[in-house]
Amino acid sequence: MIALSAQTLTAIEFAADLIRQSKRAVALTGAGLSTPSGIPDFRSEGTGLWAHDEPLDVASLQTFRTAPEKFFAWFRPLAGQIYHAQPNVAHLALAALEKAGKLVSIITQNIDLLHQKAGSNSVIETHGSLQTLTCTQCYQRVNAEPYVDAFIETGDLPHCSTCGGVLKPDVILFGEQLPQAAWMKAQTAARQCDLMIVIGSSLEVLPVAGLPMQALERGAHLAIVNHTPTYLNVRADVVFDQDVSLVIPAIVEKVLNG
């Protein structure tokens, strides 16, 4: 077990106090929360997905419309990692915090369903999820599970059983608008919270990156747990640059058990 410094332990106690005193705490989670579960993030130097691929070239709506096979070829290994991943201790800690009534909701940029697998119920998926697929021709929405194993194993593109059109995962690609209902819920949660905890997000992807600012403008406290600096570190009450799988469980343990 990695020993935490005295400074970090003091900060953990302070963050726990912020949560104890809050009435409407909200978490905003990004790809860094799921890296301990074996899912690569996007921007880490050398290991992030965009260190090897140009996002607009493989993961844009334009690419999917004109060459869906190119998107699926890029997406196939990632899909396997996501579908086989399990929640890590940070996911489980957030679920416990919600169950204890100390976390109102989780706004996530992640598409991996790990919050739900961990037991969280109030999850707002701003970038969609891999739970469903939508036909690009007749717009029928289907459960992704029956198509997943075959796609991961063979690489065959998923097609609609009704009209034969290509099925698109219900995740937000570059050049695509966020799902309106989820985005409205996320903004409402940010504006009504009295504490926002940013976890594993570099806060570089708009418009979600602007949510903590909306919270701050309405007097909320801000805690950030992320390996790399964000544009709001200077505005945060407390900042951790350690691994989320160490810090989040430690904070939640303090909140729940003192």
Q: Which of 91, 115, 127, 221 is catalytic?
A: 127
What does the DSSP assignment read for 64-125? HHH-HHHHHHHHHHHHHHHHH----HHHHHHHHHHHTT---EEEE---S-HHHHHT---EEE
Q: Are 152 and 83 in contact (CB under 8 A)?
A: yes
Count CB neighbours of 30 within 10 A: 28
Q: Which residue from 31, 13, 54, 47 is spatially nearest to 238, judged by alpha carbons?
A: 13
φ/ψ (deg, to 5) at 148: -65, -55
Q: How far apart are CA 95 and CA 89, in angstroms?
A: 10
* Helix residue ranges per DSSP H, the chain: 6-21, 55-58, 61-66, 68-84, 89-99, 114-118, 145-154, 180-192, 211-217, 244-257
CA distance linking residue 32 with residue 41, whole number of Å: 6
159 catalytic, yes or no?
no
Give the Cα separation of 78 and 210 in Å (integer): 27
Active site residues: 127
